[in-house]
Structure 1
Amino acid sequence: MASRRALLRTGGVIATAGALAPAWLKPNAATAQTATPTQPAALPRLPERPAPAIGSSIQLPRTTLIDGQVLEPGHWRGKLLLVQLWATWCPFCRKQNPLLDRLWRARRQDGLELLGLSIDEKTDVINRYLAEHDYRFPVARFDSAWWSAIGRPKGLPILWVIGRDARLKQIEVGEMFPEDIELLERWI
């Protein structure tokens, strides 16, 4: 029997595709120059690329947060790092972000780090979204350095779990439910 998560993911993908298909297939004046019929303008031009294999060593890149702060790769040394690829317009991200934010706030003193990698193009849109929801976790743009480090599987949100040993422990594509988020604590 299929899990609730698998059934909801399949249904959500079908519903989202059906709802967004008219907008993606019929470019308007605002997107005609910057988007193809199958790619909305907000997506970065980095192609899909499989994630590294579980157990792979991840070379974390130097990261500039949207507030201008620079995090060197050593910032995460010895910590559990959750990296989430997301967008402000993603309905599944909107459900998952509060769960990750709560986990991060509760467990960051135990060495848990959370980094949101947004695929939104405009910093003001990202900042407004974070402020509206009172999210405090660090956010950067998904860029070629992160693409090289962790890949870009198809879907949103995507969560990579990188262990204290800098090895990929888990990857989740699609919305995670509260019970899935609770299971992340096993890595702490």
Structure 2
Amino acid sequence: MKKQRLFIRTMILLVLGAAVVYTLYANFTKDDVKKVAVGKKAPDFVLTDMNGEQHRLSDYEGKGVLLNFWATWCKPCEREMPYMDKQYQENKEEDVQILAVNIGESDVVVNEFIKKHDLTFPILNDKKQEVQTVYGIGNLPITFLIAPDGNVVNVHEGEIINEQVVIDMIKEIKP
């Protein structure tokens, strides 16, 4: 009986020790995740929007692209959506494209969000979170400003606090 208790206690301690080691490792290496850097070419991807149309980032070369990563559960993401939609409406005839990439949620959830906020700009779904991984996305929201030549000119981490910020972003990437 004593040997059995000793074995169980030892196993529990080993599992706890492994969890502590993994947590420390994950915390110390989280900054090693490669994020897309300013001045570098934005990684190309193909994602489908909620209307079933495919969007390839490289198809927008020659246009400025405001690329936003978001989720429906993210309150800051929700607050910035109307600013982007309004600027999409005002700039869709210009050489600027706004793309919002949802991170891994179901089409049903995303479509409900779109209807609730009456969004008109392309909402892409990264269901397998492959683009999120390539871009090194951690916290949401995050917005990449991509120049007409395909290079990242700025990265805005966190909430877009008002519409003027979106206007300034568009000026930064307008050809």
The answer to whether residue 169 in structure 2 is matched with residue 184 in structure 1 is: yes
- TM-score normalised by the chain length of structure 2: 0.72
Give the 5 Å matches for 1:123-162: 123-142=107-126, 143-145=129-131, 147-148=133-134, 150-152=135-137, 154-162=138-146
Q: Which amino acid aligns with 2:44?
A: L
Runs of 4+ in 1 over 4 A off after TM superposition: none
Which residue of structure 1 lines up, in the alignment, with residue 11 of structure 2?
none
Which residue of structure 2 lines up, in the alignment, with residue 83 of structure 1?
67
What per-residue deviation string (whole Å, max 9, x for no partner) do you get for residues 79-124 of structure 1?
1111111111111011111111111111121111111111242111
Give structure 1 stretches of 5+ with no counterpart.
Answer: 1-46
The answer to whether residue 69 in structure 2 is matched with residue 94 in structure 1 is: no
Q: Which amino acid aligns with 2:141?
A: P
> Does the aligned pair in 1 maintain the 2:71–2:105 contact within 8 Å?
no
How many equivalent residue pairs? 140
Give structure 2 stretches of 5+ with no counterpart.
Answer: 1-29
- Write the distance in 2 (CA, Å) between the matches of 1:50 and 1:102: 32
> 1:66 Cα shift?
2.9
Which residue of structure 1 lines up, in the alignment, with residue 42 of structure 2?
58
- TM-score normalised by the chain length of structure 1: 0.68
**Larger C-alpha radius of gyration, 1 or 2?**
2
- Write the distance in 1 (CA, Å) between the matches of 2:159 and 2:85: 14
Please identify which structure carries the higher helix content.
2
Percent identity, aligned pairs only? Answer: 23
> Does the aligned pair in 2 maintain the 1:60–1:146 contact within 8 Å?
no
The answer to whether residue 87 in structure 2 is matched with residue 103 in structure 1 is: yes
> Does the aligned pair in 2 maintain the 1:65–1:141 contact within 8 Å?
yes
